[in-house]
């Protein structure tokens, strides 16, 4: 049985009546009220019982490492031919391809000075194919190589004179081979 406890300062000269509560140390008066007992789950209507599996986890806060690794495998960046069909892509399109939020792309723009998407008068960002390739490199360094932002900046500064394309080409080739082998495995 549940009890509700109230406390307030009592007058020590006041008569202590059983319905008023219990006087403790002539300074605190505690009143105990009885509440109705809680019904057992068998007495509750079936509509009010919610299984724990049906509850969704919160989308707030940081992603777990397992979620980030799962997202790495699911990048949906179009190939070069498809990217060449348009000159610019909105920040929401690009964010969906990388499975990140638009504010993270804006943060990367501040941190990596070479990443400069075009902005219209309103301030909306539009990413060119070159910007998307730069984002691919940044995403690779931060999410797949697990470098910090400072480490990725240093890495890009060292590679500035050299071509980053060779390393990205090898990575893309290995990913394509992996996808091919996975499809081959499924067909067997």
Query: DSSP 3-state helix, strand, coil percentages of the chain (rounded to 5)?
Result: 45, 15, 40
Environment class of residue 12 by beta-carbon count within 10 Å: exposed (0-12), middle (13-18) or buried (19+)?
exposed
| Cβ-contact 95, 73 below 8 angstroms | no
Bridge partners, 9 (sequence order): 28
Share of the chain above pLDDT 90, in %: 24
Q: What are the pLDDT digits (tens) for 148-179?
A: 999 999 988 887 756 666 676 777 788 888 88
pLDDT tens column, 16-75: 555 555 555 566 666 666 666 665 555 655 555 545 444 455 566 666 767 666 655 667
Domains of the chain (ranges plus CATH)?
Answer: 3-34 (no CATH), 65-171 (1.10.1660.10)
């Amino acid at each position: 049985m549940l009890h509700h406890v109230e406390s307030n300062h009592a007058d020590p000269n006041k008569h202590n009546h059983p319905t008023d509560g219990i006087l403790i140390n002539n300074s605190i008066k505690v009143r105990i009220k009885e509440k109705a007992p809680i019904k057992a789950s068998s007495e509750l209507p079936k509509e009010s019982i919610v299984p724990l599996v049906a509850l969704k986890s919160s989308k707030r806060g940081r992603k777990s490492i397992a979620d980030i690794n799962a997202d790495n495998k699911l990048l949906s960046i179009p190939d070069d031919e498809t990217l060449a069909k348009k000159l610019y892509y909105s920040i929401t399109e690009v964010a969906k391809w990388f499975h990140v939020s638009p504010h993270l792309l804006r943060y990367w723009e501040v941190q990596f000075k070479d990443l400069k998407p075009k902005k219209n008068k309103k301030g909306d960002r539009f990413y060119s194919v070159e910007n998307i390739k730069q984002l691919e490199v940044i995403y690779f360094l931060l999410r797949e190589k697990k470098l910090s932002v400072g480490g990725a900046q240093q890495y890009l500064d060292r590679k500035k004179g050299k071509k980053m394309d060779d390393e990205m080409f090898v990575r893309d080739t290995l990913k394509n081979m992996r996808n091919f082998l996975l499809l081959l495995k499924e067909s067997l």
